[in-house]
Amino acid sequence: QVQLVESGGGLVQAGGSLRLSCAASGSIFRINDMTMGWHRQAPGKKRELVAAVTSGGSTNYADSVKGRFIISRDNAKNTVYLQMNSLKPEDTAVYYCNADGIYTFWGQGTQVTVSS
């Protein structure tokens, strides 16, 4: 089956950095032609788009993270990353990886907690 597995979450102090990884697996699953994204959901809030990168390398960021977060992809490794810098307590959420193409896939999420 197709799987997206997030890793790299954890507890970090405000102002710190963290890098999330999302590895795609499955015997025939490749992210090459898919838009990859990161979404997050804070307690009591709806899931929101954080960043996305198209198959051509174009990126899009939520205003709240622009200039602080960087999304990147390594198709050879079938992996997408989210480098998070200058973290703020309001960045605390469960972060989900997704792959969007003909079909859409979601990971199970990884917790990011930023202490003040």
Instruction: For 69-78, write each residue's pLDDT tens digit.
Output: 999 999 999 9
Other CB atoms within 10 A of residue 114 CB: 19
The whole-number pLDDT of residue 29 equals: 76
Of 51, 44, 43, 45, residue with least CA distance to 98: 51
116: pLDDT strictly greater than 90: yes
Of 15, 36, 11, residue with least CA distance to 93: 11
**Confidence class of residue 58 from pLDDT cuts 50, 70 and 90?**
very high
Q: Which residue has the higher pLDDT, 61 or 2?
A: 61
